[in-house]
Amino acid sequence: MLHALLRRLTASGFRRGVAGGSRTWLILGILAAGAQALRRLARQEPDVLYRTAIRPGDVFEIITKASSE
């Protein structure tokens, strides 16, 4: 829900700020775009290396190695 609100504020802010000449709307659009960028950067999703469908009867093996940190 927040994503949709920020997207709408960004679009409206830039449209009304640039086309309409409103400095307030332009600033609002810039702030909303910045908030979207921060949310995107703060997202913590795991990296997906491989994805496939598993069917009944399938066999698979997961092997891990210690990191060299």
Residue 69 has a pLDDT of 60
Structure tokens at 41: 């950067």
pLDDT digits (tens, 9 = 90+) for 41-64: 888 877 777 888 989 999 988 888
Confirm whether pTM is higher than 0.75. no
What are the residue ranges spanned by the domains of the chain? 2-42
Query: SS3 string of 6-30?
Result: HHHHHHHHHHHHHHCCCHHHHHHHH
Residue 1 has a pLDDT of 82
pLDDT digits (tens, 9 = 90+) for 9-52: 999 999 999 998 999 999 999 999 999 999 988 888 777 778 88
The DSSP call for residue 48 is P
Residue 38 has a pLDDT of 93
